[in-house]
Amino acid sequence: MTTLEFCHELEFSKINFIERKIKINHPRTIITGPPKSGKSFLIFDYLSNYNQEDYIYIDFSDYRNEKDEIEKNLEEYVFRNKIKVIVLENFEFDFKIPFCESVIISTKLDTTLKGYKKLFLTPLDFEEYLLHDKKNQNITQTFNNYLKNGNLPGVVNIDEIHTFNRLHDLIILINKDKTSQEILKILFLNIDEKKSLNQLYLALKNKIKISKDKFYEECKYFEKNKIVYFIEKYEQKKATKKIYSYNPAFLSAITHKKKFKNELTNIIFCELINKYKDIYYLDYIDFFIPSKKLAIVSIPFFNSFMMQSQLKKIYKIVDEYKIKELFIITVSNDEQFFHQNIEVNVLPFYEWSLS
């Protein structure tokens, strides 16, 4: 059996797909997103609308698929078999795409093609996680698992020990070599921290042999592929940036140190990136959305009586930037009160994310 015959026989109609907020609704689509965010299952859902003989699914990360054979014979094979949909997973745009009624591409490359719609898929937000969770737990327990195990679709319903193994394997998968792994680990260890790349480079240099060029090159790669985010301070481009990961569970997967506030803040960030493009931080404000005059502060265990000093610092920034909405996100606390004419909403994460 040839590679193309094998790829043509693959069938996805029986895949148990759970709806995502993003769908493929254009016949020519390029999908990007960080590793294991669910890109393939989005494609499987799209293919379920077709008969098996009408599509060909080619994954270039599958070692069994002979790339030279595909490049040489794909156009003729598509024409001869009257194929309606070509799927090219993990494609690098290194040969001409044959004409077809529909072409769906997943790739790591930031490529734009005329006539193609681009989709960027992040892992599950909390509402999607609830739909995927089959354990029928109460919402508090589901949130605890979401915070502990992360937002990747593939870890929702597996045991905790296997979750850690999956995350460790994923760190290896993302990286080219051991040095890249160490760079990514030090970035993950500093989520929700204000650290310059130079600070992190010097810290890592004390641990392993590494060049500055290599360190900065890898950081740029992780940022470009939305594995790590560097958030600016509002209107202060030269200020130290804050670091976040596309999956907060990486932190607990690489250290025994408990950084509960950092993980909660990172998971809040993951909810925001699908809603807003203009996300910054301010002194005492974790996230500021200037277009909405919206401020969000992460305080896992909030008590308004005990935190008057911290609230005064927050209010000063609220007044300075004419902020109209202030949310304080917690694990379980729920309060509402006013600062002047601004309502301060203290909400558990799961209430805020679903509101």
How many Cα atoms occupy the beta-carbon half-sphere of 28 within 13 Å?
Answer: 10
Q: Which pLDDT score is estimated for 37?
A: 94
Sign of CA dihedral 163, 169, 173, 174: positive
Looking at residue 51, what is its pLDDT?
92
Tokens of 291: 């277009």
C-beta neighbour count of 161 within 10 angstroms: 8
User: Considering all CA atoms of the chain, what is the largest pairwise distance in Å, rounded to the nearest integer?
Assistant: 74
- Tell me which residue has tokens 């008057």: 308
Can you give the pTM of this predicted structure?
Answer: 0.90
CATH of domain 160-268: 1.10.10
Mean pLDDT in runs of 10 for the chain (355 residues)?
A: 90 82 96 94 93 95 92 95 96 94 94 94 94 83 90 86 84 87 95 96 94 95 94 95 95 87 96 94 97 96 84 94 95 88 92 93
SS3 of residue 125 by DSSP = coil
pLDDT attached to residue 110: 87
**CB-count exposure of residue 258 (10 Å: 0-12, 13-18, 19+):** exposed
Please report the pLDDT score of residue 285 as a whole number. 97
In the block, residue with structure tokens 């008590």:
303
The residue among 349, 293, 287, 348 whose CA lies nearest residue 320 is 293
Q: At what angle do helices 160-174 and 178-188 cross, to 10 degrees?
A: 120
Paired strand residues for 264: none
pLDDT of residue 1: 67
